[in-house]
Amino acid sequence: MIRFHPTLRFHFLVAALVLAFDRATKWLIAKDIAPHDSIKVIGGFFYITHVENRGAAFSLFANSPSQWKMAMLVVFSIVALVVVLTLLWRNTHTMATTGLGLALILGGALGNLWDRLLTGRVVDFLLFYIGSYAWPAFNVADSAIVIGAGLLVIEVFFAKSTTAEKSA
């Protein structure tokens, strides 16, 4: 039996919670809101909407006629998952920002991959406006991926500045 370090178990728990919350919110949206319908939360700023994205982030490649589009998105997601799992495994013994960031990315990537494999599209539902500009709709998985990536960037910048200060 494989024994996981407690920190790794925590990271897997975070990823599982992200996946569960993502699945639950997408299910609720798909069940209760018809595609392309919206619920105004804060008029002119925030809406809950039901968008089905057949492309990548921000609907990139959504209108691509390529028969390989879905396969490439799935392969890219699987490669990203392998990289994230490898990095998490290597950071098993540290409870750092890096591990949390990777766990968030893992949970988010699993959530969107789940959608792509089962339905060929990802349910997006968070829609924000700033003036007349609409940010592309996104979901919990996308949010976790962006927050996780942000944590990794912060870790890189602060780790470099701390290392530079110690060597000076």
Which residues have a catalytic role annotated? 124, 142
Burial of 81 (0-12, 13-18, 19+ CB in 10 A): middle
Q: Are 96 and 146 contacting, i.e. CB atoms less than 8 angstroms apart?
A: no
Residue 45: other Cβ atoms inside 10 A: 12
Q: Are 104 and 145 contacting, i.e. CB atoms less than 8 angstroms apart?
A: yes
Q: Which of 102, 56, 55 is nearest to 81 (CA)?
A: 102
SS3 for 125-148, per residue? EEEEEECCEECCCECHHHHHHHHH
Q: Are 19 and 114 contacting, i.e. CB atoms less than 8 angstroms apart?
A: yes
* Residue 110, both tokens: 């699993």
